Amino acid sequence: MSKKTNIAFVLALTSLGFVAAGTTPAMAYSCGAQFKSANKIIAEAEGLVTKDTDSRILAMIAEAKGIAQAGIISHKKANQGHTGDVGKFMHGDSVRKGKWAQSLATQAIFLMSGETR
Protein backbone atom coordinates (compact mmCIF):
# COMPACT_ATOMS: atom_id res chain seq x y z
CA MET A 1 0.00 0.00 0.00
CA SER A 2 1.20 3.45 -0.77
CA LYS A 3 1.51 6.22 1.79
CA LYS A 4 -1.53 8.03 0.31
CA THR A 5 -3.62 4.86 0.59
CA ASN A 6 -2.55 4.38 4.20
CA ILE A 7 -3.49 7.97 5.08
CA ALA A 8 -6.87 7.64 3.36
CA PHE A 9 -7.51 4.39 5.21
CA VAL A 10 -6.63 5.92 8.59
CA LEU A 11 -8.82 8.96 7.90
CA ALA A 12 -11.73 6.73 6.88
CA LEU A 13 -11.43 4.66 10.05
CA THR A 14 -11.14 7.78 12.19
CA SER A 15 -14.23 9.39 10.67
CA LEU A 16 -16.14 6.13 11.04
CA GLY A 17 -15.17 6.08 14.71
CA PHE A 18 -16.48 9.61 15.20
CA VAL A 19 -19.77 8.74 13.50
CA ALA A 20 -20.20 5.60 15.59
CA ALA A 21 -19.36 7.44 18.81
CA GLY A 22 -21.83 10.19 17.96
CA THR A 23 -24.78 7.90 17.21
CA THR A 24 -24.40 5.35 19.99
CA PRO A 25 -25.59 7.60 22.85
CA ALA A 26 -28.51 8.83 20.76
CA MET A 27 -29.59 5.27 20.10
CA ALA A 28 -29.14 4.27 23.73
CA TYR A 29 -31.38 7.07 24.97
CA SER A 30 -34.25 6.56 22.54
CA CYS A 31 -36.62 5.62 25.35
CA GLY A 32 -39.29 8.18 24.50
CA ALA A 33 -39.46 7.14 20.86
CA GLN A 34 -39.71 3.48 21.84
CA PHE A 35 -42.63 4.14 24.21
CA LYS A 36 -44.43 6.33 21.70
CA SER A 37 -44.14 3.60 19.09
CA ALA A 38 -45.15 0.88 21.57
CA ASN A 39 -48.24 2.80 22.69
CA LYS A 40 -49.24 3.41 19.06
CA ILE A 41 -48.96 -0.28 18.18
CA ILE A 42 -50.74 -1.32 21.40
CA ALA A 43 -53.61 1.06 20.60
CA GLU A 44 -53.79 -0.40 17.10
CA ALA A 45 -53.94 -3.91 18.54
CA GLU A 46 -56.68 -2.88 20.97
CA GLY A 47 -58.63 -1.47 18.04
CA LEU A 48 -58.72 -4.91 16.42
CA VAL A 49 -60.14 -6.63 19.51
CA THR A 50 -63.64 -8.04 19.12
CA LYS A 51 -65.86 -9.95 21.50
CA ASP A 52 -64.61 -13.19 19.90
CA THR A 53 -60.90 -12.41 20.34
CA ASP A 54 -59.01 -15.29 21.93
CA SER A 55 -58.14 -14.74 25.59
CA ARG A 56 -54.48 -15.54 24.89
CA ILE A 57 -54.30 -12.60 22.48
CA LEU A 58 -55.98 -10.36 25.05
CA ALA A 59 -53.39 -11.50 27.60
CA MET A 60 -50.61 -10.70 25.12
CA ILE A 61 -51.94 -7.16 24.66
CA ALA A 62 -52.26 -6.72 28.43
CA GLU A 63 -48.69 -7.96 28.85
CA ALA A 64 -47.46 -5.50 26.21
CA LYS A 65 -49.18 -2.65 28.07
CA GLY A 66 -47.63 -3.75 31.36
CA ILE A 67 -44.14 -4.05 29.90
CA ALA A 68 -44.44 -0.63 28.28
CA GLN A 69 -45.53 0.84 31.62
CA ALA A 70 -42.60 -0.87 33.37
CA GLY A 71 -40.26 0.65 30.79
CA ILE A 72 -41.68 4.11 31.43
CA ILE A 73 -41.03 3.60 35.15
CA SER A 74 -37.44 2.50 34.41
CA HIS A 75 -36.99 5.61 32.29
CA LYS A 76 -38.25 7.87 35.09
CA LYS A 77 -35.90 6.17 37.54
CA ALA A 78 -32.98 6.64 35.14
CA ASN A 79 -33.67 10.37 35.03
CA GLN A 80 -33.74 10.75 38.82
CA GLY A 81 -30.12 11.68 39.22
CA HIS A 82 -28.68 8.34 38.21
CA THR A 83 -25.47 8.73 36.31
CA GLY A 84 -22.78 6.41 35.15
CA ASP A 85 -23.45 2.71 35.01
CA VAL A 86 -26.76 2.82 36.89
CA GLY A 87 -28.22 5.43 34.54
CA LYS A 88 -26.95 3.54 31.49
CA PHE A 89 -28.49 0.32 32.77
CA MET A 90 -31.84 1.95 33.52
CA HIS A 91 -32.02 3.63 30.11
CA GLY A 92 -31.00 0.41 28.37
CA ASP A 93 -33.62 -1.48 30.34
CA SER A 94 -36.33 0.99 29.39
CA VAL A 95 -35.39 0.84 25.69
CA ARG A 96 -35.45 -2.96 25.84
CA LYS A 97 -38.89 -2.95 27.45
CA GLY A 98 -40.21 -0.52 24.84
CA LYS A 99 -39.04 -2.78 22.03
CA TRP A 100 -40.40 -5.85 23.81
CA ALA A 101 -43.83 -4.23 24.17
CA GLN A 102 -43.80 -3.32 20.47
CA SER A 103 -42.98 -6.91 19.58
CA LEU A 104 -45.80 -8.36 21.66
CA ALA A 105 -48.34 -5.90 20.26
CA THR A 106 -47.16 -6.62 16.72
CA GLN A 107 -47.59 -10.35 17.34
CA ALA A 108 -51.11 -9.76 18.63
CA ILE A 109 -51.96 -7.75 15.51
CA PHE A 110 -50.62 -10.59 13.34
CA LEU A 111 -52.65 -13.19 15.23
CA MET A 112 -55.85 -11.15 14.88
CA SER A 113 -55.52 -9.90 11.32
CA GLY A 114 -52.73 -11.84 9.62
CA GLU A 115 -51.04 -8.52 8.85
CA THR A 116 -47.27 -8.61 8.99
CA ARG A 117 -45.03 -5.66 9.73
* Cβ-based neighbour number of residue 8 at 10 Å: 12
pLDDT in tens, 29-71: 677 889 899 999 999 999 999 999 999 999 999 999 999 999 9
Span 13-42, average pLDDT: 67
pLDDT in tens, 82-91: 667 777 788 8
Rounded CA-CA distance 37/64 in Å is 12
Residue with the bigger pLDDT between 8 and 36: it is: 36
CA separation, residue 39 to residues 35, 48, 92 (Å): 6, 14, 18
Q: What share of the chain is helix, strand, coil (3-state, %, to 5)?
A: 85, 0, 15
Let me know how long the chain is. Answer: 117
pLDDT band at 14 (very low <50, low <70, confident <90, very high): low
Does residue 100 carry a pLDDT above 70? Answer: yes
